[in-house]
Amino acid sequence: MNQAKSRSTFSRLSRKRLLDLFHFQIRNIWRVDGLYFLGIEKEFGAQAASKIDEECWSTMGTLEARQLKEILHAREWSMPKIIEALELASWALDQRDKKLQVQKDQAFIRVVNCNTQLTRIRKGLTEFPCKPVRESYLKSFVKELNPGIAVACSFCLPEAHPESGWCEWRFSKVA
């Protein structure tokens, strides 16, 4: 189907249907990511799968931020603008149950219920030590938008996490 034909098909859908389709596609990205990870883990072990996942998501962070720069047309990438862009990225869209706190010079994102971790638990798998993967993704995403913003982890697996969240990330201006 060419782009003009698909736009025509989309134009006939209601706003609700378009949003449902959009979120369905985001979930599919994460399903594919999970299936690839599990396949690599089964064939080569968790360490190899995690290393590959970290490299992929680091690249994905840069690519998503670059594309969002084109879409959002921001002149300046302040802290609020970076968080706005991040909220439109696949990772944040998949993590619907999150808390955000955004100020002029710092921000926090806490994932309250992590879809990835909850899916693994439902399937009888162990929790995934995702800190290196998420950290590389978030750092590359933010660096593409504003290298003057630092990303730090408050907590994330394999470290212990409180019942109020699976991970929390701090964004602050570099001194």
Q: Which domain holds residue 104?
A: 3-173
pLDDT tens digit sequence for 81-110:
999 999 999 888 888 899 999 988 999 999
Query: Identity (one letter) of the amino acid at 1?
Result: M
pLDDT of 3: 61
Domain count, the chain: 1
Listed residue (146, 139, 151) closest to 78, CA to CA: 146
Q: Specify the residue for token string 């162990």.
A: 126
Chain position carrying tokens 């994330």: 156
In this prediction, residue 4 has a pLDDT band, given cuts at 50, 70 and 90, of low
pTM for this structure?
Answer: 0.87
Angle between helices 131-145 and 46-72 (to 10 degrees): 20
Cα 147-148-154 angle, rounded to 5 deg: 95
CATH code of the domain covering residue 136? 3.30.1380
